[in-house]
Chains A and B, each alone.
Chain A
């Protein structure tokens, strides 16, 4: 979960220029690699269609084509992997972000202790004092994959460090994703479109954003599994093969084990099957493909402990079950019909099919009411009712990657594919074979989801690549074809042609209305519908419509081809730029630029985590906001109260309450939870906007959800409704533990000057907050991480406030380290 990707991007944008300069050389080399495969597909993709000289045998042509295909594919893979290595080159081989740190930690356990230990791993340090049963609460696919690779390499005496496997897993799988997309698109059109799609998905930023080296998260392998499952489903549907259906189920199982987004497949395939049914396209192939996938896939998905019996118990999975039942009924009905064709019996069949359908739906509703089937879970429900999460599950709404997507993100992530995408969908409508229906449904559903949540851009990206590749390759098919059409015929024959064409079209329409069109017929219908459109388009100008297609003249071809090449080259530049600047930062190490333009790394996080690791007792418990839980566990190896696995809302709200209450109220909470250290992230000195003060309102909101009487959001605003941290800040704000810890001794840095918070651009009062119940233990170089030690109860039984006052009155002693601090301008 890249929580602050956006915030980060916003911060990062400032120093973008510097970074680009520093990696210019890398940039060039990668660009060179990328350009080659871009140009490849359409130089050879049409070899089959070209009238080559007669002394070359068709076998030679086919062999050459497949060799070129392999070479191009190799280059695409190389480009896909290479462009994901910016992060390693710019920084180092390091795990990124937040969630990957947990995955990495779990993988280390898996590699060191074996699978059974991992399965039974109870982690007592997380969610202190509750602990976490890791084996039953993770999707183990990612860790298992790395574990298998690790053991495989070690079997061959290749002692590769587990960290490097984790870092490089995502780039490696991106090459496999390109292959799966190639196969999928080949089913849609042909292999030239497939290669284009593979090249697109290899370097498109929408996918790179989740798969750069070091981004060791579930999505890294999930997109490959998504595409391969879809490909196998389409293949099973086209051939009517139980083999492919079973394989689809096996990969579906892998997907379930790897990513919570498997529900997307669980619903996409049934919707596709249902739409085909409604279009009157039921066939034995559909039955074989769907039933073999569903029966094996559902059973296997229940093997994953974290999923458990959900596939038979929750509403998300009931659609698939319903379609499964419907298919059985329809199949039985069509079997009966094949034996008997009396009118009366047909009626009986229709009635019984409909009543069975109604009965099933009724049973589903009753079971939901009775509680045998769980209703939609909040996360899924919030996709439909977009206001739901904000009202009832603030913890979901607080994550920045769950925010809705503004249009620049679409363009940033998909560039020119985003407008080729509708064109490709139109082409799918032209052919409208069974597999095209799938792309169409996928396009609509994924567009909606990507609009609702930024992170679901990831599911939109593959279909955009496929669809855009279909559009572009169709265009190039037409304009690269060197065969010119004949000179237009005379008026008479064309008039006949018109008549025939319209008659054809009418017939086709009638057939479509009957609704029993199979795939190949539909294609024929499509072409006549097309001619219909062309006729309509031309009827005004009364010109002669010819059925043949083609382009006259080399200049027209050249214009289109140059235009396309230009767009592709621009796309490569765009992708390289976006990848290098926006998506390749580990967010554990930050980069900024020095005045002379050189890169300056800000390593405060690791500095602080290392301090914790070295200077605190092994069993110390650190309280921080949940974002940093995994990192503290992974890098500092200390216990945490809450972490990024946000399973216990109350516990998180407890932390929120402690942070947003005054010291005296927070102190008992801290002591009850055995907290030794409190860690806050403060960006005011450096202008790092992803800090805790900016997240503070979410802490307040989440705490308010549990203790509406004690914490109230309006109290943290000024009377005029502003969120301020300067003198005009509200009392609740000024007294909160979070505020005090963030700005503790901040003004002293500036001496007599104005202390400015650079994130919020506000002046901090000269007389800063004082702390009685916690004391400063560590502040990192740029003040990004501040760690405070929770004091023990006073030995004399006084409350710490009066004890402090007493001590201060006696002797004004300062024992805090001052030397570490310096004002960074």
Chain B
């Protein structure tokens, strides 16, 4: 994010407009999903910095935890993109219900492997 930090007041205002646009245009359901995504990002960053700064000793435990965060993140992001009304044209064959079922199935498989990995 180097360019952002090195930017002028113009870009800060751009971020401000972006934030405004986001709050006004996004439905509360999507905001809920976004909150979960932010939580996952924070959790991932925390785990990664622990691995880098402290130790990666049980490497499989770290990998299991980190992959579950990343995997859950992308699955949730997929769900967000599928239920986003703006993307209706993109997903012709995936209804909202189907999207949620896919999300659940993917998460179950993911966490099955994560559980196996921690073992």
Contacts and interface: CB of A to CB of B under 8 A. Distances in A.
- Direct A–B contact in complex, judged by CB atoms less than 8 Å apart: yes
Interface residues of A, number: 39
A464 to B, nearest CB: 30
18 contacts: A240-B94, A241-B94, A241-B98, A288-B82, A292-B74, A295-B70, A295-B74, A299-B64, A299-B67, A299-B110, A299-B117, A302-B117, A303-B117, A309-B63, A339-B21, A340-B14, A340-B17, A345-B17
A338 B86 contact: yes
Interface string B1-38: 11110010011001001100110010000000000000
Given A240-B91, A345-B14, A287 B1 contact: no
B4 A284 contact: no
A348 B93 contact: no
Interface in A346-400: 348, 351-352, 355
Interface in B38-94: 59-60, 63-64, 67, 70-71, 74-75, 77-79, 81-82, 86-87, 90-94
Interface stretch (A243-251, A265-273, A684-692, A708-716): A243-251
A336 interface: yes
A299 B94 CA distance: 26
Contacts of B79: 242
A287 B78 contact: yes
Contact of A291 (B67, B78, B102): B78
Given A245-B106, A284-B82, A340 B94 contact: no
Given A295-B74, A340-B17, A352-B3, A302 B63 contact: yes
Contact of A345 (B18, B87, B105): B18
Contact of A241 (B3, B14, B93): B93
Contacts of A283: 90
Contacts of A615: none
Given A288-B82, A296-B110, A342-B17, A312 B63 contact: yes
B106 A240 contact: no
Contacts of A4: none
B115 to A, nearest CB: 11
A298 interface: yes
Contacts, number: 122
B113 A288 contact: no
Nearest to B69: A295
Interface in A312-359: 312, 328, 331, 336, 338-340, 342, 344-345, 348, 351-352, 355
Contacts of A292: 74-75, 78, 106
A299 B4 contact: no
B81 A284 contact: yes
A300 B92 CA distance: 30
Interface of A: 239-243, 245-246, 249-250, 283-285, 287-288, 291-292, 294-296, 298-300, 302-303, 309, 312, 328, 331, 336, 338-340, 342, 344-345, 348, 351-352, 355
A241 B106 CA distance: 10
B14 A348 contact: yes
B48 to A, nearest CB: 12
B113 A296 contact: yes
Contacts of B7: 348
Contact of B113 (A240, A299, A328, A331): A299
Nearest to B17: A340
A296 B90 contact: no
Contacts of A287: 77-78, 81
B112 to A, nearest CB: 9
B42 to A, nearest CB: 16
A352 B4 contact: yes
Interface residue SS majority, chain B: helix
A332 to B, nearest CB: 9
Contacts of A303: 113, 116-117
Contact of A295 (B22, B64, B71): B71
B113 A285 contact: no
Contact of A336 (B18, B87, B91, B92): B18
Given A291-B74, A299-B71, A302-B117, A339 B18 contact: yes
Contact of A250 (B22, B25, B109): B109
A241 B7 CA distance: 38
Query: 5 tightest A-B contacts by CB?
Result: A291-B74, A295-B71, A242-B102, A288-B78, A243-B102
Nearest to B79: A242
B78 A242 contact: yes
Contact of A339 (B25, B94, B106): B25
Contact of B77 (A240, A291, A294): A291
Nearest to A242: B102
B1 to A, nearest CB: 7
B3 A348 contact: yes
A296 B110 CA distance: 6
Contacts of A243: 98, 101-102, 105-106
A292 B113 CA distance: 14
A243 B75 CA distance: 10
A324 to B, nearest CB: 8
A246 B14 CA distance: 38
A303 B113 CA distance: 8
Contacts of B103: 242
Contacts of B116: 303
Contacts of A299: 63-64, 67, 71, 110, 113-114, 117
Contacts of A355: 2-3
B3 A351 contact: yes
B86 A239 contact: no
A312 B59 CA distance: 11
B104 to A, nearest CB: 10
Contacts of A298: 67
Contacts of A351: 3
A119 to B, nearest CB: 13
Given A287-B77, A292-B74, A295-B74, A240 B82 contact: yes
Nearest to A331: B77
Nearest to A339: B21
